[in-house]
Amino acid sequence: MELKKIVVGDNEYIFINTYRNTRSGFAHDTVLMKNGREIGSHSCHYLNRTWEQYTYQTVMGSLVWNLIDEQAKEFIGEVRAVIPSHRITKAHRADLMEEFNARLDIRELHAVKEALKY
């Protein structure tokens, strides 16, 4: 087991990474904790080896991307429920995504993602 800690503002993000053998190779699993509370988990399966800059980089990055993507879909779904029209134009979607990316929790996840690059 390997831990990776990232502090963003007042919040502490801890990745708990594990390795396991599978029938056809191996897998990296990660769980992300924010201030001691689990906010997500992810697993990546490999056949022989990874091409990461450091161990567990891919699984941690994938988890953060998935969390951002899930929250973006929820945000758009909430907006669609309020908007009388069923269609969101490209320009409106761009404005919505700008509003979404301005949220503090999303900015923090982007900062975590940037910290994982190196």
Q: Does position 87 have pLDDT exceeding 90, yes or no?
A: no
So what's the pLDDT on residue 86?
67
Closest to 6 (Cα-Cα) out of 34, 41, 29: 34
For residues 1 and 17, the answer to whether their CB atoms sit within 8 Å is yes
For residues 94 and 88, the answer to whether their CB atoms sit within 8 Å is no
Q: Identify the domain containing residue 17 by its residue range.
A: 2-115
Q: What is the domain count for the chain?
A: 1
d(CA 113, CA 90): 26
Tokens representing 13? Answer: 């993000």
* DSSP class of 40: E
So what's the pLDDT on residue 85?
66
Tokens representing 31? Answer: 């769980």
For residues 58 and 117, the answer to whether their CB atoms sit within 8 Å is no
d(CA 116, CA 54): 10
Q: Does position 104 have pLDDT exceeding 80, yes or no?
A: yes
Q: Does position 74 have pLDDT exceeding 70, yes or no?
A: yes
